[in-house]
């Protein structure tokens, strides 16, 4: 879908803390609480140590949950492409989301859906496969990068392969992660035998 369709489109609307908490040091320079449990008898310093451990554990658990939800969002996006599910595809975007495609921005969910509908019309068959990806969290926002490939038949009968990369910005809205911006760059476009054009990785 993201490959070799620019000419046919009318683009409208154009972490968690690492390493764990360290124990407080006593006057003799040795870490207190190291290698032993914390009980009420340990006093204020022991309580502070327990709180730090709990905060660190909770933050790591939240970061893991957030990353899993973002990865599932990307999977739902590809699933919607493969099944031509317009409603599901639209539900992955924030209301004012921006899709950067072929050097132009498409903004707003209504314009996004119209552009997607036009892109899907270019193909009689298409399947999008998500490969490796990275996620960086920053509170209620995140950034991510994903590599993907698309295999398709154009409406004219051409067999096409696109290999590319998505650069994503995400936002948490009412407890759910959504795309606020997606930028797609094709790294290869052409026949499945890799005889087509290759583009260097983009400098952002």
Instruction: Provide the residue ranges of all domains of the chain, joining segments of one domain with +.
Output: 56-198
Fold of the domain spanning 56-198: Nuclear Transport Factor 2; Chain: A, (3.10.450)
pLDDT, residue 9, reads 52
Question: Across-strand partners of 151?
Answer: 127, 161
pLDDT of res. 51: 72
Burial class of residue 42 in the structure, from the number of CB atoms within 10 Å of its CB (0-12 exposed, 13-18 middle, 19+ buried): middle
List, for residues 50-72, the tens digit of each pLDDT value.
Answer: 777 777 777 899 999 999 999 99
pTM score, two decimals?
0.75
Of 76, 104, 88, 84, residue with least CA distance to 182: 104
State which H helix or E strand residue 93 sits in.
Answer: strand 93-101
CA distance 202 to 135: 18
Q: Are 198 and 113 in contact (CB under 8 A)?
A: no
Residue labelled with tokens 């392969």: 161
Which has the closest alpha carbon to 155: 189, 184, 126?
126
- Each of the 204 residues of the chain gets a pLDDT tens digit; together they read 665 554 445 544 443 344 444 443 433 444 444 444 545 446 788 777 777 777 777 789 999 999 999 999 999 999 999 999 999 999 999 999 999 998 899 999 999 999 999 999 999 999 999 999 999 999 999 999 999 999 999 999 999 999 999 999 999 999 999 999 999 999 999 999 999 989 999 887
């Amino acid at each position: 879908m993201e490959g070799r369709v620019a000419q046919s489109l009318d683009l409208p609307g154009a972490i968690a803390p690492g390493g764990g908490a360290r124990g407080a040091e006593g006057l003799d320079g040795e870490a207190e609480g190291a290698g032993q449990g914390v009980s009420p008898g340990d006093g204020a310093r022991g309580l502070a140590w327990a709180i730090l451990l709990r905060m660190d554990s909770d933050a790591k658990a939240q970061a893991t949950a957030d990353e899993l939800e973002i990865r599932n969002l990307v999977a739902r996006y590809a699933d919607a492409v493969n099944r031509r599910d317009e409603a599901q595809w639209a539900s992955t975007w924030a209301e004012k989301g921006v899709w950067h495609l072929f050097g132009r921005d498409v903004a707003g969910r209504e314009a996004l859906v119209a552009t997607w509908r036009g892109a899907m019309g270019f193909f009689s068959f298409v399947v999008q496969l998500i490969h490796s990806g990275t996620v960086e969290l920053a509170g209620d926002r995140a950034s991510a990068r994903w590599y993907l490939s698309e295999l398709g038949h154009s409406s004219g009968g051409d067999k096409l392969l696109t290999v590319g990369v998505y650069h994503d910005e995400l936002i948490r809205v009412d407890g759910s992660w959504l795309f606020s911006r997606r930028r797609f760059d094709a790294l290869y476009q052409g026949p499945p035998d890799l005889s087509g054009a290759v583009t260097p990785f983009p400098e952002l």
